[in-house]
Amino acid sequence: MPAETPQFASLQTPVLLLDEAKMMRNIHRLEAHAKALGVTLRPHLKTAKSVEVAKRLGGGLEGPITVSTLAEAEEFHRARISCILYAVGIAPQKLSHAWDMRQQGCDLILLLDSIEQAKAVAAAEIPALIEIDSDGHRGGRAPDDPVLIEIGRILHAAGCLRGVMTHAGESYTVSGAAAHAAFAEQERAAAVQAAQALRAAGLPCEVVSVGSTPTAHAARDLTGVTELRAGVYMFFDLVMEGIGVCSIDDIALSVLTTVIGHQRDKGWIMVDAGWMAMSRDRGTQSLAVDQGYGVVCDTDGRVLDDLIISSANQEHGIVTLREGSTATLPDLPVGTRLRILPNHACATAAQFQRYHVLPADGGALQTWPRFGGW
Amino acid sequence: MPAETPQFASLQTPVLLLDEAKMMRNIHRLEAHAKALGVTLRPHLKTAKSVEVAKRLGGGLEGPITVSTLAEAEEFHRARISCILYAVGIAPQKLSHAWDMRQQGCDLILLLDSIEQAKAVAAAEIPALIEIDSDGHRGGRAPDDPVLIEIGRILHAAGCLRGVMTHAGESYTVSGAAAHAAFAEQERAAAVQAAQALRAAGLPCEVVSVGSTPTAHAARDLTGVTELRAGVYMFFDLVMEGIGVCSIDDIALSVLTTVIGHQRDKGWIMVDAGWMAMSRDRGTQSLAVDQGYGVVCDTDGRVLDDLIISSANQEHGIVTLREGSTATLPDLPVGTRLRILPNHACATAAQFQRYHVLPADGGALQTWPRFGGW
């Protein structure tokens, strides 16, 4: 084991580490791809939940951005980002909050897929996108559903129809660029078909929004699409690595932890990153390589051969060799620091109140706040 | 569906609800049992992480309590609770923090199971318990391990040996009072054997601490034990119901959510409680009844027949009838409020920054802060 990175010495683990250089590389990669495809990137900040991260996106504090809660919308608008899509179906009880934000100068756009929501949103005079179902994953109207036109008419009568949006959540269930490109085309085709149906009915459809991290990276042609959304790409994680969207070296997020004990006869090394730090997300369980609760690295971020957190209690992780491994369990005395790569960046980051950032310029560790809640 | 409870009308979901009357019933039940067994109850506050909950325990602000992080120890000591066991194996990097807390008058006790930890703790002159392994679940020394005596001697030489502690985490994997009572006896036997081994070597062993929520409730005889620990019993959850420790009516914690959409042809009802609200904990997956991401109730807390959150995205829960159910899917329009009982109270509560409390006296909803982090 190399000597511990000195700047970690004073930290009390578990701590959420963010490698800014890797994050910037991930951000620039998708920005270049969106530019080549001729679409606006509207990053989803549900993963990062951080103004410091938002500042480092191509749009900076201009936006546009996507959020998953009104609490995120509030925080980002407080930082003067005003072009915000709240991409979760709107509950009528949230309309007065959304209306208040618009009065404060936030161009908040809502999402909906039913006549009842459209009537409430039209009455509140708030612009919205109509959700389109492109893969049977979650909400949304099929692009040929006649109710889509009805919803469009209700919104348009109040001047609230901005366009359509779809998200192929099923793209996470397949692996490799070709399979993701097929889902990207499925998103594009459904969104464009819905936009054409609205226009054919004499309705406007300015925004045609598609995306998920796998489809955004794999998309080859987005003709007819105006904007692309993705979130976890800023940090990446073991699920994205497992389905071939990134390499393990692209993962910008890790949890710094400390060895707190052993059961040597069982080959167990106990660390102070349990599920409270890693989250209960077991997203790699269904993939070709099950990474347990995360992949173990040394403090410089180098993967330790076949070492994973194979099980977790609230504040205990049990590190073992991967099942069937022929590697040798390293000797990691109590007090050894390790870094754990997470299954799912959105879930792991949500367990922490701040990032400890390894700055891209190689300077001293910085602290960036992050927020949660609703 | 009954009309919505008026006091929920102004809330923006998801919101964490706590039924104080149920919580008090749960608290009193275990306190009475501990009293009958002649042991001190040292409640574990890793689930509640709330000073308001701590005040309502039998010991009140006198304690004693158990915590799982030094951040919890700090928060509770700030509220003047001074008798605190930090029940996770100590990392040497945390000793200066623990020492500072003791200087501020906190009777903080640490946990360890190795010679290297014992030397560091003895050098810092902080009292500690030695962890005993009673079920192969996690850390700890076997009660007949000669290293136990070595550790005891190192601690005692510095005046730091307080006693022994064990936790039968494996008790969660079996169901019913008889099976839990067997684990309770296993905890008792291991802890008492370890205490006797220390005493036979001329070492003191004032504290003999055992417990987990299943074993604490099922224990029939705790001869030789001085204190009992348990945490999730204050709130209970679907895992505890699933293994027979409580009834569904004892569960004091739920997540208030709102219907935000439908896929009617699939029998899906979308709600705004996804895994960010419920947590990714799928603790009932391995039990006789898999409750998905939680059991759906109306706003009065009455279970809706066979309705569960069967899958979840970050901010979306998909409510369906349980697989194989012959019940009829209720008509729950957009805007309908529901309450979801969680799989695992520790994990779900950790997703929220506050409790919305239904007070035992039937008065208006109160807000109690809770904390997280490390």
- B91/A334 CB distance under 8 A: yes
Q: Which residues of A touch B92 (CB under 8 A)?
A: 334-335
Q: Which residue(s) pair with B368 in the sheet?
A: B355
Q: Examine the pLDDT at A151 and tell me if it is beyond 70.
A: yes
pLDDT band at B3 (very low <50, low <70, confident <90, very high): low
List, by residue range, all CATH 2.40.37.20 domains of chain A: 6-17+245-369
Q: What pLDDT does residue A168 have?
A: 96
Contact B335 A116 (CB under 8 A): yes
Residue A132's φ and ψ, nearest 5 degrees, are: -110, 135
CATH 3.20.20.10 domain range(s) in chain A: 21-234
Read off the pLDDT of residues A297-356 as tens digits, 9 standing for 90 and up. Answer: 999 999 999 999 999 999 999 999 999 999 999 999 999 999 999 999 999 999 999 999
Candidates B138, B272, B277; nearest CB to A313: B138
Q: Determine contact: B72 vs chain A, CB below 8 A.
A: no
Interface of B with A in 280-319 (CB under 8 A): 280-282, 313-316, 318
Does the interface ipTM go beyond 0.95? yes
Interface test with A, best of B276, B311, B318, B352 (most A CBs within 10 A): B276
Q: Report residue A6's pLDDT band, with 50, 70 and 90 as the boundaries.
A: confident
Q: Which of residues 330-359 of B touch A (CB under 8 A)?
A: 333-335, 344, 346-347, 350-353
Q: Is the pLDDT reported for residue A2 higher than 60?
A: no
CB contact under 8 A, B335 and A70: no
CA angle B25–B31–B35, rounded 5-degree value:
145
* B326 inside 8 A of chain A by CB: no
Q: Do B117 and A169 touch (CB under 8 A)?
A: no
CATH class of A21-234: alpha beta
The reported pLDDT for the residue numbered A1 is 46
- Tens digit of each residue's pLDDT (9 = 90 or more) over B168-208: 999 999 999 999 999 999 999 999 999 999 999 999 999 99
Mean per-residue pLDDT for B81-106? 97
pLDDT over 50 at B1, yes or no: no
Q: State residue B4's pLDDT score.
A: 60
**Residue among B15, B335, B373 whose CB faces A91 most closely:** B335
Q: How many residues does chain A have?
A: 374
Contact state of A316 with B88 under an 8 Å Cβ cutoff? yes
Cβ–Cβ contact B17 with A under 8 A: no
Question: Would you say A346 and A7 are in contact if contact means Cβ atoms under 8 Å apart?
Answer: no
Point out which residues pair with A337 in neighbouring strands: A258
Is domain A6-17+245-369 in CATH 2.40.37.20, yes or no? yes
Start and end residues for every CATH 3.20.20.10 domain found in chain B: 21-233
pLDDT bucket at B7, cuts 50 / 70 / 90: confident
Length of chain B: 374
pLDDT (average), residues B112-124: 98
DSSP state of A314: S
Residues A84, A43: contact at Cβ < 8 Å? no
A314 and B68 within 8 Å at the Cβ level: the answer is yes
- For residue B230, the chain A residues in CB contact (below 8 A) are none
Q: Which whole number is the average pLDDT over B308-329? A: 97
Share of chain A above pLDDT 90, in %: 96
- Which pLDDT band holds residue A7 (cuts at 50, 70, 90)? confident
**Amino acid at position B82, single letter:** S
Q: Which two tokens stand for residue A304?
A: 């330790």
The whole-angstrom distance between A177's CA and the closest CA on chain B is 23
Q: Which of B261, B335, B350 sits opposite A93 (nearest CB)?
A: B335
B191-194: long-range contacts (C-beta < 8 A, 24 or more apart)? B191/B132, B191/B134, B191/B143, B191/B164, B191/B165, B191/B166, B191/B224, B191/B225, B192/B223, B192/B224, B192/B225, B193/B143, B193/B144, B194/B130, B194/B132, B194/B141, B194/B143, B194/B148, B194/B164, B194/B166
pLDDT of residue B39: 98
pLDDT tier for residue A39 given thresholds of 50, 70 and 90: very high
> Domain B21-233 in CATH: superfamily?
Alanine racemase (3.20.20.10)
Q: Residue A3: pLDDT band by 50, 70, 90 thresholds? A: low
* Interchain CB distance below 8 Å, B91 and A279: no
Q: What is the mean pLDDT of residues A6-23?
A: 94
DSSP letters spanning B233-254 = GGT--HHHHHTTSS-GGG--EE
A116/B334 CB distance under 8 A: yes
- Average pLDDT over chain B, rounded to an integer: 97
Give per-residue pLDDT as tens, A284-296. 999 999 999 999 9
Cβ–Cβ gap B114/A261 under 8 Å: yes
What's the confidence (pLDDT) of residue B2?
Answer: 46
Q: What is the DSSP string of A47-85?
A: TT--HHHHHTSTTGGG--EEESSHHHHHHHHHTT--EEE
Report the alpha-carbon distance of residue B357 to residue B363 in Å, rounded.
Answer: 10
Please write the tens of the pLDDT for every residue from B144-168: 999 999 999 999 999 999 999 999 9
Q: What is the amino acid identity at position B138?
A: R
Nearest to A69 among B117, B315, B350 (CB): B315
User: What is the spatial distance between Cα A141 and Cα A118, in angstroms, rounded to a whole number?
Assistant: 13
Show which of residues 214-253 on chain B sit within 8 Å of chain A, judged by CB atoms: none
- The interface residues of chain B toward chain A in range 97-156, judged by CB-CB distance below 8 A, are 97, 112-114, 116-117, 131, 133, 136, 138-139
Nearest to A257 by CA among A22, A2, A20, A17: A17
**Chain A residues inside the 8 Å CB shell of B49:** none
Which segments of chain B does DSSP mark as H helices, in order?
20-37, 51-55, 70-78, 95-103, 115-124, 146-157, 177-200, 213-218, 238-242, 275-278, 345-349
